[in-house]
Every structure is written in structure tokens, then in C-alpha cells.
Amino acid sequence: MRFLVTGAAGFIGFHLARRLLDDGHAVLGVDGMTDYYDVGLKRRRNAMLQAYDRYEFAPVMLQDRPELEALVAAFAPEVIFHLAAQAGVRHSLAHPDTYVSANILGTHQLLEIARKYRPQHLLLASTSSIYGGNEVFPFEEGQRSDFPLSIYAATKKACEGMSHAYAHLWEIPTTCIRFFTVYGPWGRPDMALYRFVDAAVRGRTVEIYGMGGMLREVTYVGDLVEAMTRLVSVVPRAGAPMSSHGVVDSLSPVAPWRAVNIAGGNQVSVLEMVDTVERLTRCNITRRFRSDHLGEAVETRACSRLLHALTGIMPATGFEEIVREFVSWYHDEGYRWARNAVPTVPETC
């Protein structure tokens, strides 16, 4: 098959594109190569993808619709994975214009192109931040998502809403995939695991927000990619949603559209993250606690029963295994890009 992957040089986009290429598919990767974190890391990921004969790449911003549309017209993708976005909850508080432009306007341009070129399936990256101030746990796809806590969450909520409208109006089969704090090798330097490992190895102090009690559902990137590839063949069809054995489908009654949580079943506190990193690196981390966690949910916890019902799988990689693999990668490669990490709380992704 032929896949368009936006954000292909990003953390998750890289892992997804590499999996698709390993499976024998052709991939067109596009990425704006923005400098939210060290562009050298993005170039390194992309160089690995460019070793594949079936990989094409273009450094394009989604807002540049004429260039993007020309690429899509020439490549003719059968499936689109839309992962390009401006990430980072706390960063969105200081730079809201960037998030509106990249996430809302960029997604709108992609949806317009999808309306014209009609992919068999459009899969959009969404986020656990969608659930915002919801205090009913675990988060299920059918719960309300009307109370965003950050600009980032609000833009991703808008993307889900736009994609539903396009699915309804122009019958574009669409799946919104809600990520829950994804970790693994080749990750983003601004995320907590990267910062904690770097602080441990370099003997630096880390700021811990929420006094260390914030809880995050953590997912291994390999498990996420496995689930994403399986969802490709689960194409939404407008109609009566599935409901069996207590699992309620999020399928829209008026559009070929659904939302699906992908989460790893690992809920850990910030302090548990730090303790695990200390143990596996055999280094101490000096901690500075702060109560401020503006824009961040105190807790995320997912229900992944719908994912299991649709694909037959449930992410299962444990948190300690995730950290162990990341530490190994950090010593091999990751230390090169950690210096430009931006202090933040554990992102909800």
C-alpha cells in the first residue's frame, strides 16, 4: 500500500514510517522540520528512513497547501496518517498562535486535500489531553471532552471536530487515535523520561511539578505503532455502533468516524518515574519540587477495551522495560540532543 505520513521525522512518525517500510509499503513522509527541539534529532531519524528505497520525503509545512497538494497528487496515497502537530502542553501557554496555526490551520489544509483525493482511510493523531477536566476514570472514548485545560488540548479537540465534519460531509473514513504519554527510543527531549535520564547521567537537578504526585498512563511507542498499523484495516462505516461485552463503540451515527484510545496499561506517578530512572541508570537525581501544573491534568488513565475489540491486541510493555530500553538508546544516541530539552511536566502527549 501507499501511505502518506505527516510529521514523519517526529518521534512517533519516525517509528510508524519505519514499521510501514519494514512491512513492504511505500511511504511519502512530510515534515516541517521545525525547531521546537533540536532539528538534528529529526534529521537523524529522517536519514534512517531515507535508507529505504520506498521512502520519499519532502520538508513541507502543512500550511503550504499548494506544495503539499502537488505531492499528494503525484504520490496518490491510499492511506493517510496525520501525525504532524505542534506538541507540548506547557509550551502552548506561551505560544498559542503557533498551536492554532500548526494544529488547526494545518489540519484544515490536510482535510481539504483528503476531500479532493479521497484516501481509503484517514487516521489522525489525537491526545489524552482531549479528556481535559474529566474526572471519571478510566477515560473512555464516549466520555465528554468539552473541558480542555490547555491551548494544545483545545486545538486537538478542534481537529477532532473538523475531521468529524469532513467525514460526515464528504464521507472520508476517519479514525482519531488518542495517544497516552508515549515513550521509547528516539523520543522528544522535552518529555519527562528524556529529561530525567539526562539529569541522572549528567548530575543535574530536575524540576518536578505537581509535587510528584501527578499520574500518567504510559505507552511504549512500539505497542502504539503496532496498534496503529492494525487500525488501518478497521475502516469506519457510518451506522449503528458496536456494543458487546460492555464495550461501546465510539463510531459516529452520522459519519464514518470513530475515536480510539491507545494506552499501555502503565499508570505511574512522577516520583515513580524518577525512582525507576535512578535505579536503572544507577545515578541519583536531585529534585526540586513545584506545585504549579497549569494546563496539565492531575491524572490520566485509559480504557483500551475498544482497541482490543477492534484489533484483538492490548498494549502490554511494562514501564520498567520502557525505561530500560530508553536508557540504552540514550547512552548510544540520545545524549547528543538532550542539551536543548525544555523543562516541563510529564506531557499527556
CA distance 79 to 85: 18
Element (H, E) at 258: strand 257-262
Residue 331 lies in a domain: no
In a domain, 188, yes or no: no
Range of the domain at 176: 2-180+220-262
Those residues with Cβ within 8 angstroms of residue 315's Cβ, 6 or more apart along the chain or in another chain: 219, 220, 223, 224, 226, 227, 262, 263, 264, 265, 304
Write the burial class of residue 278 (CB in 10 Å: 0-12 exposed, 13-18 middle, 19+ buried).
middle
On whether residue 201 sits in a domain, the answer given is: no
State the pLDDT at residue 240: 63
Q: Count Cβ atoms below 10 Å from residue 40 Cβ, excluding itself.
A: 12
Q: Is the pLDDT of residue 108 over 80?
A: yes
Residue 161 sits in a domain whose CATH number is: 3.40.50.720
Judge if pTM exceeds 0.85.
Answer: yes
Grid cell digits, residue 233? 484495516
The domain tally of the chain equals 1
* Single-letter code of the amino acid located at 34: T
Question: Mean pLDDT, the chain, as a whole number?
Answer: 93
226 domain-assigned:
yes
Residue 61 lies inside a defined structural domain of this protein: yes
Neighbouring C-beta atoms of residue 336, cutoff 10 Å: 13
57 lies in some domain: yes
Q: What is the C-alpha separation between 260 and 310, in angstroms, rounded?
A: 9
Catalytic residues: 152
Domain assignment present for 125: yes
Contact residues for 274 (Cβ-Cβ < 8 A; gap 6+): 196, 206, 208, 212, 285, 287
**For 169-208, how does the pLDDT look when each residue is reduced to its tens digit (9 = 90+)?**
999 999 999 999 999 999 999 999 999 999 999 999 998 9
Establish if 235 belongs to a structural domain: yes
Tens-place pLDDT, residues 122-172 = 999 999 999 999 989 999 999 999 899 999 999 999 999 999 999 999 999
Place of cell 529534585: 287
